[in-house]
Amino acid sequence: MKNMHSSEQQWDKKALTYPRYNPSEDTFEARTIRTLEKEGVDFTGKRVLDIGCGSGKFTLVTAKKAASVLGTDISSQMLRILHEDAEKEGADNLRSLKCTFDEFPDTGERFDIAFASVTPAVRTAEHFRKVTDIADRVVYIGWAGRKESEMLYALHRECASTPKEFNDVPVLKEWLGGEGIAYKVIPVEETWTRTYPRERAEALCMEIFHGETTQTCINAVAKLLDSIADEDGRITDRMHVRMEIIIW
């Protein structure tokens, strides 16, 4: 319970500066939905479960097509943002539930599509079995070995620290193979350019120290951000990512 409370606080804090839904047709989310449609995953008129939905970047894209969408997340602040943007978009077919996936209630409700995108909410064999049991089709987007922020990697070099590994899809593929479940893999490799206010960039940098806030850490972050900030104090970062969309 303590770890869950800590995670909730962590994601509530992130929500304050977390990327929100963008109605552009050129976002990663919009492009991904079009890719899924080409692969035969049609959200039109479907009952969709979005697990670990966060601020709703995917939730609201799917809500434009689906009959109904249920978004779940551990963070009340993320869900608050989701509903704010849903109201702006007139998405009245959307509801939410604050819970971990472990806590997701067994009410007998089934979904046409369950969706989980780069979320820690679905990571274990128990989670994979649960999501398979409650949905006719599952779409999982996971890291496939690369999530490389130029800003954070520069900080790792400065501090001689080891970057976190992002590679969760092998665990899922091993489970699917062991269960004899056929699946399709769509590789995704992109570079995202994002500009942050200084406060958000500082928060992202401090995360790599896992709560350690010594003066040495603070000085290293300040030195790096001073060197890359624009004249308005904003920080532009390039993120190189490799993911896989897994459909079963």
Query: Domain-by-domain residue ranges, the chain?
Result: 2-147+164-193+239-247
Amino acid identity for residue 157 in this structure: R
Tell me what pLDDT residue 3 has: 55
**100, 8 contact by CB (below 8 A):** no
Bridge partners of 237, per DSSP, are 194
Place of tokens 């960039």: 201
**Distance (Å, whole) CA 186 – CA 184:** 7
**Distance (Å, whole) CA 64 – CA 87:** 13
Model confidence, pTM: 0.92
CA dihedral 221, 227, 228, 232 (to 10 degrees): 100
Short-list 70, 72, 69, 89, CA closest to 20: 89
Report the pLDDT averaged over residues 33-58: 97
**Distance (Å, whole) CA 228 – CA 225:** 5
**73, 98 contact by CB (below 8 A):** yes
pLDDT tens, 213-246?
788 888 999 999 999 999 999 999 999 999 999 9
Tell me what pLDDT residue 208 has: 86
Could you give phi then psi for residue 188, rounded to 5 degrees?
-135, 125
- Checking DSSP bridges between strand 94-98 and strand 68-73, what pairing results, if any? parallel
Tell me what pLDDT residue 104 has: 97
Pick from 47-51, 102-106, 205-209, 213-217: least confident: 213-217
What is the C-alpha end-to-end distance of the chain, expressed in Å? 32
Tell me what pLDDT residue 4 has: 54
Question: Percentage of the chain surpassing pLDDT 70?
Answer: 97
Q: Alpha helix locations (H) across the chain? A: 2-15, 28-38, 57-63, 76-89, 125-134, 150-159, 169-179, 198-207, 215-228
pLDDT tens, 132-179?
999 999 999 999 999 999 999 999 998 888 999 999 999 999 999 999
Which helix (H) or strand (E) element contains residue 149?
Answer: strand 135-149
Short-list 235, 75, 54, CA closest to 149: 235
**Distance (Å, whole) CA 224 – CA 155:** 7
Q: Which CATH class is domain 2-147+164-193+239-247?
A: alpha beta
**What are the residues whose beta carbons fall under 8 Å from the beta carbon of 141, sequence distance 6 or more?**
32, 116, 117, 118, 188, 243, 244, 245, 246
